[in-house]
């Protein structure tokens, strides 16, 4: 399995799109769905929060993944509320009271899942470096035989 490039190795404009635009648009879409379909809202909310693992995986360590998750979770949760407010219809799912607690929840989960992603990336990189020539595990086993 080939790991995706680290976020900081990408061109600056692409970094902004990946780290800012994508979670913002996904949050807006999730907020819109909050007013139209409880099931769709819940599915996208779970995908958005778990997507923090993938975002964290674009960083070499848990701390950097956690920082990415902090920003992504904060942005995602805020945009959910903004998206729902722009539609103006009532929410189909129960939100915390006050609704700003949702932003705190998505932020905390973003930090946790981002850290997990960064830790996993660090583990993958350490294993790759520990193998002769950085060969994939299956190739290293084949050579040993």
Going from N- to C-terminal start, the domains of the chain cover 7-144
Could you tell me what percent of the chain has a pLDDT over 70? 90
pTM of the full structure: 0.85
Position 133 confidence tier, pLDDT thresholds 50, 70, 90: low
CB-based contacts of 136: which residues, under 8 Å, 6+ apart? 1
Position 140 confidence tier, pLDDT thresholds 50, 70, 90: very low
> Is residue 63 within 8 Å of 117, Cβ to Cβ?
no
Q: Which residue has the tokens 């790759």?
A: 128
């Amino acid at each position: 399995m080939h790991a995706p490039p680290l976020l900081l190795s990408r061109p600056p404009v692409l970094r902004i799109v990946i780290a800012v635009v994508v979670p913002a648009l996904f949050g807006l879409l999730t907020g819109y769905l909050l007013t139209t379909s409880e099931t769709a809202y819940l599915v996208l909310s779970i995908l958005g929060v778990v997507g923090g693992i993938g975002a964290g995986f674009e960083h070499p360590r848990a701390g950097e993944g956690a920082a990415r998750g902090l920003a992504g979770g904060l942005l995602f949760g805020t945009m959910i509320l903004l998206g729902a407010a722009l539609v103006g219809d009532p929410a189909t799912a129960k939100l915390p009271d006050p609704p700003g607690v949702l932003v705190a929840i998505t932020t905390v989960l973003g930090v946790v899942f981002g850290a997990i992603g960064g830790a996993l990336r660090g583990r993958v990189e350490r294993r790759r470096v520990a193998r002769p020539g950085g060969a994939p595990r299956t190739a290293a086993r084949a050579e040993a035989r």
